[in-house]
Amino acid sequence: MKKILTIAGTRPQLVKIAAVSRVLRESFTEVLVNTGQHYDYNMAGVFFYELNIPRPDYDLGIGSDSHGRQTGRMMITVEEVIEKENPDAILVYGDTNSTLAGAIVASKLHIPIIHIEAGLRSYNKEMPEEINRIMTDHVSTLLFAPSDLAVENLSKEGIIDGVHKVGDVMYDAVLFNMELAEKKHSLKDYDLKSREYILGTIHRADNTDNPRRLEAILRAFNSLDGTVFLPLHPRTKSKIESFGLAELLNEATNIRILEPISYLEMLLLEKHARAIVTDSGGVQKEAYFAKVPCITLRDQTEWVETVETGWNKLVNPLKADLSDKLLKLTVGKPIDDLYGDGQAANKIVTILKSHFK
């Protein structure tokens, strides 16, 4: 049985692993490496238990650091694991530093690279994720794209061989887990009513590392009509405190702050929100899957289709009135197969079996 070494390190990647590993392990030996990029239990550890993800064979515990140091430390430890395990291929997801570290090391060791969520482009190279996804795509052997646009993006860069449009594994995960989320959690747990709150998330460096932008976002939340439910990323919380913005939150009567929540809790809250305001790529898509209107606090997005179909609107909090944008937010018509049919994991494994036959 062929051995595939999977590398991940963040919450969204664990969700994708939950969708793929249950199918992958029927035909392959999988070695799971958790870099520990999200090292807090609420940020990542609870996902293993909640989604029944296999425990990592290697837990590297890298933690937080600057992009260069974090990626470099990952490369050193990942290389040691690869040399020990001698896998037939490396599997990486998305666009994190864990993804880039695995891809670079595998390419240097001449090991085939499987990239799930290939072909995404925001065309903003100031985003670290954009550099990560471009570099990973250009050294990958098999590239599994979630949409027609992703395939087109790869073709523009001369990447044609090994490209397969399979749909989005996060859609697989949402379909699989939404019923479980409804059974396990209730809006009553949070004293919320369906369609009577706005769900917010902030974590990207573009927003959190810029004090003017972060302050504008918090003031925008404060100006909204109704409850803003805000699970706060530890890094965002730290930046709010270091920039002296904590008092702004304390004075806000409509913002409810809480610790990071689990994936199933997040699914439930997304499904019943009046609207979602986020800077997360994954949450943009989950909002679309839940058919809840979304405002994304970014100037570009890699999930262009959500904007083109009218379910997502890009807003710069320094240039636009968030409250006004929410009031005028209209949505398009649902397109059921925009990101596939919920069978991406099965399609990926079928192609892998054929490739490694």
Closest to 168 in 3D by CA, of 347, 354, 30, 352: 347
- Residue 300, class by beta-carbon neighbours within 10 Å (0-12 exposed, 13-18 middle, 19+ buried)? middle
Token pair of 324 as six digits: 């006004």
Pairing verdict, β 3-8 and 312-314: unpaired
**Beta carbons within 10 angstroms of residue 83's beta carbon:** 10
Token pair of 257 as six digits: 């702050």
DSSP secondary structure code for residue 41 in this structure: I
> What is the crossing angle of helices 128-139 and 97-108, to 10°?
30
118 beta partners: none
Q: H-type helices in the chain, by residue range?
A: 11-24, 46-50, 67-85, 97-108, 128-139, 148-156, 169-184, 205-208, 211-223, 234-242, 246-251, 263-272, 281-289, 304-308, 322-327, 344-355
Active-site hit among 115, 185, 203, 233: 203
**Beta carbons within 10 angstroms of residue 159's beta carbon:** 18
DSSP secondary structure code for residue 42 in this structure: I
38 is catalytic: no
- Residue 164, class by beta-carbon neighbours within 10 Å (0-12 exposed, 13-18 middle, 19+ buried)? middle
Collapsed DSSP state (helix, strand, coil) of residue 305: helix
Round to whole Å and give the CA distance between 318 and 168.
32
DSSP secondary structure code for residue 203 in this structure: -
Altogether, the residues listed in the chain come to a count of 357
Catalytic residue IDs: 203
